[in-house]
Amino acid sequence: MSTTLSTPRAAKPNEDADALIERFGSTRKSRFTRHVILCAIGLVMMYPLLWLVSSSLKPNGLIFSDLSLWPAEWHPSNYADGWTALEYDFGIYFSNSIVIVVLSIVGNLFSCSLAAYGFARLNFTGRKLFFALMLGTMMLPGHVLLIPQYILFAKLGWLNTYYPLLVPNFLATNAFYIFLMVQFMRSLPQELDDAARIDGCGPFRTFWSIILPLCRPAFATTAIFTFISVWNEFFGPLLYLTDPELYTVPLALRQFIDSEGQSQWGQMFAMSVLSLAPIIGFFIAGQKYLVKGIATTGLK
């Protein structure tokens, strides 16, 4: 009795928890009130995004005078004009961003899964120490490393290339993803590894043929998180990329304020919508993995 009471967080989430809470917690009226409150908050939160989409379809003159979300006058050419409004067309910026994102995902999956398997499944001298070090880097604010890293990359001749943005991802520098995968791998039964070893598999074979295929959910979470953070990333590209031909989408978007004298709002909003669309798409496709990933990191 006392053990079950004293470890509430280990208890299994109750299947009919909701029904039970309903029974003593809320009446029909209070449920209705809750829906009203939640819808109101949701509407306020979504409104700026809806306004963005609507404004991207309005002629410049109407954006700030016509407040209705439904454009009184449609102006879809904002998209075509915005696409070519800057020095290079947005096709270049989008393909730059896509190249960086795809390679970052590959790098994180490759290097973090190797490290995670080492931490989760193999025994070697100093493992605990290295694991603690890895967790420590998760808390370390990146700006402390910024200046020496910049100097180092400059000395390597990597300024104005994608190397400073990509190479760290191939070197397992995202401790968060390692941690996520370690947690996942630890939940897999150890008997799998033992059976593989008895059948004559070495650690690499076990990793490749047994563990990797089972880790797909953790990889999906890592890939989606990497996608969103790299796609949004502004600071790294701002620091390392000076040639506009290499610009990513966020750097390009910022040029709208620099170059257009702040008047081509419709075009700027149209390109903003396009830059957010992939994130929203990935969010809808991978919501399950995102919610799970973020929830497990908080609970462990």
Contacts to another protein from residues 82-121, by CB under 8 A: 110-111, 114-115, 117-119
Q: In the set 1, 2, 19, 190, which binds another protein (CB under 8 A)?
A: 19
Q: Which helix (H) or strand (E) holds 128?
A: helix 127-139
Residues 223-252 that bind another protein (CB under 8 A): 228, 231-232, 234-235, 238-239, 250-251
| Number of alpha carbons in the 13 Å side-chain half-sphere of residue 236 | 24
- The residue range among 76-84, 88-96, 182-190, 279-287 that interacts with another protein, by the rule CB under 8 A, is 279-287
Q: Are 120 and 246 in contact (CB under 8 A)?
A: no
Q: Which is nearer to another protein, 195 or 277 (CB)?
A: 277
The CA distances from residue 193 to 74, 96, 145, 211, 215, in Å, are: 61, 41, 38, 8, 14
Smallest gap from Cβ 230 to another protein, in A, equals: 12
Tokens of 104: 């970052």
| C-beta closer to another protein: residue 91 or 142 | 142
**CB of 210 or CB of 268, closer to another protein:** 268
Give the binding range for another protein (CB under 8 A) out of 41-49, 73-81, 84-92, 179-187. Answer: 41-49
In angstroms, rounded to a whole number, what is the distance separating the alpha carbons of residues 264 and 253? 12
Among 80, 195, 285, 294, binds another protein (CB under 8 A): 294
CB 16 to another protein: min, Å: 8
Residue 264 contacts residue 85 (beta carbons within 8 Å): yes
By beta-carbon proximity to another protein, the closer residue of 66 and 81 is 66
Positions in 154-193 near another protein (CB under 8 A): 154, 168, 170-173, 178
Tokens of 108: 């994180």
Place of tokens 């496709």: 285
Rule CB under 8 A: say whether 144 interacts with another protein. yes
Residue 107 structure tokens: 């790098």
Q: Give the type of residue at 246.
A: L
CA distances from 212 to 188, 203, 275 (A): 11, 12, 32
| Binds another protein (CB under 8 A): choice among 2, 27, 29, 67 | 67
